[in-house]
Copies of this chain bind each other. A is one copy, B any other.
Amino acid sequence: MHKKSIEVCLTPALLNLYDIKESVVVVIDILRATSSIVYGIDNGATAIIPVAHVEDCLNYADKGYLLAAERNGEVVAGYDFGNSPFSYVSDKVKNKTVVLTTTNGTKALHLAQVNAHQVVIGAFLNLKALCSWLKSQEKDVLLLCAGWKDKFNLEDTLFAGAVVNELRKDFTHFDDSCVAAEDLYLLAKDDLRNYLHKSSHSHRLAELNIEEDVKFCLQLNICQAIPVLVGEALVALKA
């Protein structure tokens, strides 16, 4: 049996150090891109296409897709909605394709796509479903934190730690960033929201007035969907 390894890449700026040709890469951007993506796919969206800039959305304007774009916490005029997971409810997204603007998440996805065996999306919302599937695959796993402008951030690292914690018994090799991420998660897990108050990002988010979004994104296991990247679009993985 293949000895399976897990590594945590703490920011996309370090991805070139990892050999991911035979790995499943899990892209993590907890606040809020990958949480919204998991929730949207779970609620029946046909596909979600992540793009880096609001302007990129315009390339999809005449295709009948929903366009999601936000600047400074406000929906951009003329767009259907923003990045709040509350926009990705069944009533709005079922059987629709959504184009989502997200800087850090899109960068991580595009970098991973070039070399990875497969790219999937993780969030606290689908933690157990994701981990069950990862256990069933005979593949190494790289947990790719989208971070903040290529720097380390706490919330993505905590989620990586949660995955390591779930997979520990089924994998054999763990790098130093796995150890760190898991221990930080174990420290924070009883009150993730409170722990994140320590983070710099938390202050920035408070200014954006998205406290309800943050609480939503820190819920565990309310979704079964595992979004997988196919071409430029994220769709539901068929188990």
Contacts and interface: CB of A to CB of B under 8 A. Distances in A.
A17 B13 contact: yes
Given A180-B180, A184-B183, A149 B13 contact: no
A172 interface: no
Kindly report how many copies of this chain are found in the complex they form together.
2
A148 to B, nearest CB: 8
B180 A151 contact: no
A174 to B, nearest CB: 7
A228 B183 CA distance: 34
Contacts of A177: 151-152
Interface stretch (A20-28, A82-90, A95-103, A196-204): A196-204
Contacts of A149: 17
B179 A14 contact: no
Contacts of A148: 176
A153 interface: yes
A14 B17 contact: no
Interface string A54-73: 00000000000000000000
A187 B13 CA distance: 27
A213 interface: no
A36 interface: no
Nearest to A198: B179
